Amino acid sequence: MLLIHCPYCEETLPEAEFAYAGEAHIDRPADPSALSDEEWRDYLFIRSNVKGPHFERWRHVHGCARFFNAVRDTVSDKFMTTYKAGDPRPDLTAEEAAQ
């Protein structure tokens, strides 16, 4: 079981308190009707499926209930960092160096 740091609670807590919520930084289009079928398909279904650092969303569902973002290495299944929803993608050079 992973330990996950909630950026709102500022606590590192067991995975059982959290729920995964898909890839991060995919904004819902402001005006979906303006999108072509292909663009809307991409928004709905197309995900990066990376091998390596993956930007993803988690929810501290059995805690503060906030959604937040994380970077997890899909190879090692280790969290590199977590940050608040709405914050920009973190610069990973420091984390990668640490790993």
Partner 1 sequence: MTRFRVEGKGRVEHAEPVNFTFDGRTYTGLRGDTVASALLANGVHLIGRSFKYHRPRGTVTAGSEEPNALISTSRGKGRYEPNTRATVQELREGLVAESQNRWPSLNFDIGAVNDKAYMLFSAGFYYKTFMWPKSFWNKVYEPIIRAAAGLGVSPGEEDPDRYSSRYLHTDILVIGAGPAGIAAAKSAAQSGARVTLVDENREIGGALLSDPRVKIDDIGAWDWLSAQLVELEELGVRLMMHTTAIGYYHQNMVGLCEKLTDHLDELPEGAPRERLWRVRAGQVVLAQGALEKPLVFDGNDRPGVMLAGSAQTYLNRYGVRVGDEAVVVTSHDSAWYGAFDLADAGTEITAIVDTRDTPRADLAREAERRGIRLFAGHTVTGTAGRLRVKSVRVNPVRDGRVGAAVTVRCDCLLMCGGWTPSLHLFSHTKGSLKWDESQNAYLPDHRSEACHIAGAGRGLWSFEAALNDGDVAGRAAAEAAGFEISDHARFAVAQDRPGTGVTHKELPTDRDAGKARAFIDFQNDVTAKDIRLAVREGMRSIEHVKRYTTNGMATDQGKMSNINGLMIAADALGEAPPRVGLTTFRPPYTPTTFGAFAGYHRGATFELTRRTTIDSWAEEHGAVFEPVAQWRRAWYFPKVGESMDAAVLRECTATRNSVGIFDASTLGKIEVAGPDAAEFMNRMYTNPWTKLAPGRTRYGLLLGEDGFIRDDGVIGRITDDLFHVTTTTGGAARVLNMMEDYLQTEWPDLTVWLTSMTEHWAVVALNGPNARKVLEPLVEGLDISHDAFPHMSVADCKVSGLPARLFRLSFTGELGFEINVPARHGPTLWKALMEAGAAHDICPYGTEAMHVLRAEKGYIIVGQDTDGTVTPEDAGLNWAIGKKKPDFVGKRSLARPDLVMPGRKQLVGLITENGAKLEEGAQIVLDPNQPKPMKMVGHVTSSYRSAALGHPIAMALIEGGRDLMGDIVHVPLPGVTHRARITDTNFYDPEGARLQV
Task: Out of 54, 59, 60, 72, point to the residue binding Zn ion (CB under 5 A).
Answer: 60
Kindly state the smallest distance separating residue 81's Cβ from partner 1, in Å.
15
Q: If you search the block for the tokens 């805690």, which residue do you land on?
A: 63
Task: Out of 23, 40, 63, 90, point to the residue binding Zn ion (CB under 5 A).
Answer: 63
Kindly state the smallest distance separating residue 93's Cβ from Zn ion, in Å.
27
Nearer to partner 1 by C-beta: 37 or 91?
Answer: 37
Q: CA geometry: angle at 39 spanning 37 and 40, to 5°? A: 65
Instruction: Report how far residue 90's alpha carbon sits from residue 94's, in angstroms, rounded to the nearest whole number.
Output: 10
Q: Write down how long the chain is.
A: 99
DSSP string, 50-79: -SSEEEEEEE-TTTT--EEEEEEETTTTEE
8: partner contacted, choices partner 1, Zn ion, none (Cβ within 5-8 A by kind):
Zn ion
Kindly state the smallest distance separating residue 53's Cβ from partner 1, in Å.
16
Q: Is 51 in the site for partner 1 (CB under 8 A)?
A: no
Q: Around Cβ 41, how many Cβ atoms within 10 Å?
A: 11
| Interacting residues with Zn ion (CB under 5 A) | 6, 8-9, 60, 63-64
